[in-house]
């Protein structure tokens, strides 16, 4: 059972977890999700799945079940084998109760090199994937993505503008955004100042090695976050932090 231990201590059933992890009624709310080992690793052999725990999987599912769109970097989409969302009966009921579209599309950010035209996140998605790229991506590659069913947006000249990615999603009516990494995408969102919430699961593992950190990119002035909730199942610790706008 998952218990909240801050700001107050209480057990949480499924509906109470939904209330805690639902997105506010803002036109835009971007939540970033990561799981980390206790010593700070975000992946084992390039994948985060090895660190995930039962409690993490519950809140991870809430993140995309209650979102308008799932935002992910191309490298992460390929490494994790993303194929888009496929709601089961429970997810379908949850999305219906919260007034969401039956299936949340995936939005992929790429310079072009890391997203082949036949990427599963494009070809196996149940609804059209949104691909965000820059002008440096060859037009032939952009055409191939489109031919395979993606909607392609050019949002930047030499690099993808994280700010324009988010603004475009909002304009498309996809303002409740669940970002699932990777580190470079998270770093660019931090630099753009568009992260509203950071959801971190600290898993009970020690990994060592050379695994990277959650966010990579340019140096920014440290932004103070506000702790919103602390949950645990007696093993993992589930943290929610808010970023003051």
Alpha carbon 156 to chain centroid distance?
21
* The pLDDT value given to residue 167: 98
Q: How far apart are alpha carbons 109 and 131 in whole angstroms?
A: 6
Listed in sequence order, the residues at least 6 apart from 29 whose beta carbon sits closer than 8 Å to its beta carbon are: 23, 175, 176, 177, 196, 197
* 160 CB neighbour count, 10 Å cutoff: 27
* Residue 217 pLDDT: 80
Token reading at 37 = 């080992």
Q: How far is CA 154 from CA 69, 75, 143, 191, in A?
A: 18, 18, 12, 19
- pTM score above 0.85: yes
Q: Mean pLDDT for each consecutive 10-residue tract of the chain (245 residues)?
A: 94 96 94 94 80 94 97 93 92 96 97 93 97 96 97 95 98 97 93 96 91 80 91 97 87
Q: What is the DSSP string of 135-188?
A: TTS-HHHHHHHHHTT-EEEE--SSS--HHHHHHHHHHTT--EEEE---HHHHHH
Pairing of strands 106-109, 130-133: parallel
Q: Tell me the per-residue pLDDT of 140-157, one tens digit each, with 9 for 90 and over.
A: 999 999 999 999 999 999
The pLDDT of residue 234 is 95
pLDDT value, residue 83: 92
Reported as a single tens digit per residue, the pLDDT across 18-57 is: 999 999 988 999 999 999 999 999 988 777 777 899 999 9
Half-sphere exposure of 15 (CA within 13 A, CB side): 1
Q: What is the pLDDT of residue 38?
A: 93
CA–CA separation, 17 vs 21, rounded Å?
6
**Which structural domains are found in the chain, ordered by start?**
27-242 (3.40.430.10)
Q: How far apart are CA 69 and CA 29, in angstroms?
A: 11
């Amino acid at each position: 059972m998952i218990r909240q231990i801050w700001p107050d201590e209480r057990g949480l059933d499924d509906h109470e977890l939904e209330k805690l992890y639902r997105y506010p009624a803002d036109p835009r709310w971007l939540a970033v999700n990561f799981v980390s080992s206790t010593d700070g690793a975000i992946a084992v052999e390039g994948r985060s799945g090895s660190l995930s725990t039962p409690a993490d999987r519950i809140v991870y599912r809430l993140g995309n079940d209650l979102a308008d769109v799932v935002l992910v970097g191309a490298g992460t989409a390929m490494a994790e084998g993303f194929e888009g969302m496929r709601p089961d009966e429970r997810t379908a009921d949850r999305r219906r109760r919260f007034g969401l579209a039956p299936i949340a599309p995936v939005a992929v950010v790429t310079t072009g090199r890391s997203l082949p035209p036949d990427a599963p996140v494009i070809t196996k998605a149940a609804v059209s994937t949104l691909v965000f790229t820059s002008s440096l991506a060859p037009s032939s590659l952009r055409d191939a993505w489109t031919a395979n069913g993606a909607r392609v947006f050019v949002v930047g000249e030499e690099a993808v503008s994280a700010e324009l990615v988010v603004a475009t999603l909002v304009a498309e009516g996809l303002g409740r955004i669940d970002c699932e990494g990777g580190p470079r995408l998270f770093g660019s969102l931090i630099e753009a100042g568009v992260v509203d919430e950071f959801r971190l699961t600290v898993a009970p593992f020690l990994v060592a090695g050379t695994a990277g950190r959650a966010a990579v990119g340019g140096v920014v002035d440290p932004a103070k976050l506000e702790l919103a909730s602390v949950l645990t199942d007696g093993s993992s610790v589930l943290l929610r932090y808010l970023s003051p706008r």
